[in-house]
Amino acid sequence: MPRHIHFIGIGGVGLSALAKIMLARGEIVSGSDTTPNALTDELANAGAKIFVGHAAENIAGADLVIVTSAAQAVNPEIIAAHSQQIPIVKRRDFLREVTAGYETIAVAGSHGKTTTTALIATCLTQAGLDPTAVVGGIVPEWNSNARVGHSKWFVIEADEYDYAFFGLTPAISVVTNVDYDHPDLFPTREAYQAAFAQFMRQTRDDGVIVTWGDDSHARELAEASAHRVIIYGLNESDEWQAGQVQANRFGGSDFGIYQSNQFKGEVSLRIPGTHNVLNALATVVVAERVGVPFDATRTALQRFTGVNRRFQVRGTFRGATVIDDYAHHPTEIRATLHAARAMYPIAHIWALFQPHTFTRTRALLNDFANSFGDADDVIITNVYAAREADDLGISGEDIVKQMNHPHAQFIATLDQAERYLMERVKPGDVVITLGAGSVTDVATHLVQNSNA
């Protein structure tokens, strides 16, 4: 008999994917969120009951309540579930049930995990392995963040926030990097690294860990895990190497693949940046591990056009190219802007950055200040608070004060920044909106007002 599973925060990228999988397994699904979005629309069309706003009556008839990490204890649905003795489970614990019985490929890392997860899932799909997949972004080929397959394979983005990846026991663990983040949850770099160490230890005894050789933290933690470790990177000493990396006519990269210094073949990517070469290389390693022929992997990589909000070309504004990117960490900003400079070497690049959370802004302030060297003009806005209430006395203006950039300024609101750009952007320029918050709306408005 199907259970009734209620998701608090069903519009989020994490829970919405799990809700889709539960629907496909024949469960009754309901959920609530503060505002509807494309993900809740997709779920409603698939048969889920969606509530806008949180209220005690929303959980009526539920057998199990899954709760987002962002939910507060005062949420009326959480209070009602407690009073009715309905089990309340976080994503971490629910993942154990969702992935039970599968050969799980889990992709963790501070950066690159969404694109790498999508690359692996689409590669396995096109090779006929029919995986189930959960990705932390919209994959255009699916028009969704989840895919329901019918094979033993489960490809999942393994999120460190709220220790969600502790709910996984992968056959293959991919760790793209371990670069300190989420200071609201991990007070020190050591605490952050300890969480990744635990995730790696949870890899099955017969499993493998695939990691980037140039990230010393990731490599050391992997090698201390007592598992078989496969190292990939750009160096001849790496077990899997990408060599002779060159820009191509698609705006991406062409490169050769080597295993133990033996040439495997050429790969051509449409997505830009050295960071995506590494993401693709991790995909090659995993694909080879699960038996996908190299030619099939190469074809899938060449067809891949990216994930929404990952260097997504949204359109134009009066002859300027508008790109939207989820980058909200200094390392991600540098990689995105470096890819943009390589792709548009003579263009005037505008970077509009909305910092995400006060704790991250304070903890990584100096790193943020040194992340915009490839942009010609930089605009920093107010901090997007997300789950935080205390501003800690920090502002986007503090980043600008630390910057040694000739054309960086603080503009408090997105509306003001949008007007500023509309008045100054010229044909041939490139505008990049950066951040995990609402800054994406500016990219949307610019494209919509291209002929205004």
List the CATH number of the domain containing 324.
3.90.190.20
From CA 120, how far away is CA 303, in angstroms rounded?
13
Residue 167 lies in a domain: yes
Judgement on whether residues 422 and 331 belong to the same structural domain of the protein: yes
pLDDT score, position 73: 84
Give the three-class secondary structure for 131. Answer: coil
434 DSSP 8-state letter: E
420 φ/ψ sector (left φ>0, alpha ψ -120 to 50, else beta): alpha
Q: Please check whether residue 328 lies inside any domain of the structure.
A: yes
Among 401, 353, 343, 344, smallest CA distance to 377 is for 353
Measured between alpha carbons, how far is residue 140 from residues 10, 277, 352, 430 in Å?
20, 20, 24, 23
Residues 114 and 236 in one domain: yes
Same domain, 298 and 325: no
How far, in whole angstroms, is CA 226 from its chain's centroid? 28
Q: Are residues 278 and 341 in the same domain?
A: no
pLDDT of amino acid 451:
66
Residue 197 is encoded by which pair of tokens? 């160490």
Burial of 379 (C-beta count, 10 Å sphere; 0-12/13-18/19+): buried
Q: What CATH number does residue 249 fall under?
A: 3.40.1190.10
CATH code at position 39: 3.40.50.720
* Residue 96 falls inside a structural domain: no
Give residue 452's pLDDT: 56
Instruction: State how beta strands 153-157 and 144-147 pair.
Output: unpaired
| Residue 61 is assigned to a structural domain of this protein | yes
Overall domain count for the chain = 3
- Phi/psi of residue 308, nearest 5 degrees: -55, 140
pTM for the whole structure: 0.92
d(CA 106, CA 301) in angstroms, rounded, equals: 19
- The answer to whether position 95 is within a domain reads no
Q: Please check whether residues 69 and 193 belong to one and the same domain.
A: no
Tens-digit pLDDT profile for the chain (452 aa)? 899 999 999 999 999 999 999 999 999 999 999 999 999 999 999 999 999 999 999 999 999 999 998 888 889 999 999 999 999 999 999 999 999 999 999 999 999 999 999 999 999 999 999 999 999 999 998 999 999 999 999 999 999 998 999 999 999 999 999 999 999 999 999 999 999 999 999 999 999 999 999 999 999 999 999 999 999 999 999 999 999 999 998 889 999 999 999 999 999 999 999 999 999 999 999 999 999 999 999 999 999 999 988 999 999 999 999 999 999 999 999 999 999 999 999 999 999 999 999 999 999 999 999 999 999 999 999 999 988 888 899 999 999 999 999 999 999 999 999 999 999 999 999 999 999 999 999 999 999 987 65
Which are the contacts of 184, defined by CB distance < 8 A and separation ≥ 6? 357, 359, 360, 387, 388
Q: Are 285 and 208 in a shared domain? A: yes
Among 89, 119, 139, the domain-final residue is 89
- Segment (H or E) for 119: helix 113-126
Token duo for residue 6: 């209620």
Q: Looking at the structure, tell me whether residues 230 and 336 fall in a common domain.
A: no
Residue pair 171/209 in contact (Cβ under 8 Å)? The answer is no
Question: What does the pLDDT read at residue 449?
Answer: 87
H or E segment and range at residue 257: strand 253-259
- Enzyme catalytic residues: 113-114, 157
Tell me what pLDDT residue 390 has.
86
Q: 383 in a domain, yes or no?
A: yes
Domain boundary among 64, 89, 114: 89
Alpha helices in 344-427 (DSSP H): 358-363, 365-369, 396-402, 414-424
Q: Which of 263, 280, 303 is the last residue of a domain?
A: 303
- Answer yes or no: do 254 and 402 share one domain: no
Closest C-alpha among 384, 390, 398 to residue 435:
384
Q: Strand (E) positions, 148-194?
A: 153-157, 172-175
- Its domain, for residue 325, covers 312-448
Whether residues 122 and 30 fall in one domain: no
> Over the Cα atoms of the chain, what is R_g?
22
Please indicate, yes or no, whether residues 348 and 379 belong to a single structural domain of this protein. Answer: yes
Same domain assignment for residues 425 and 340: yes
Same domain, 240 and 274: yes
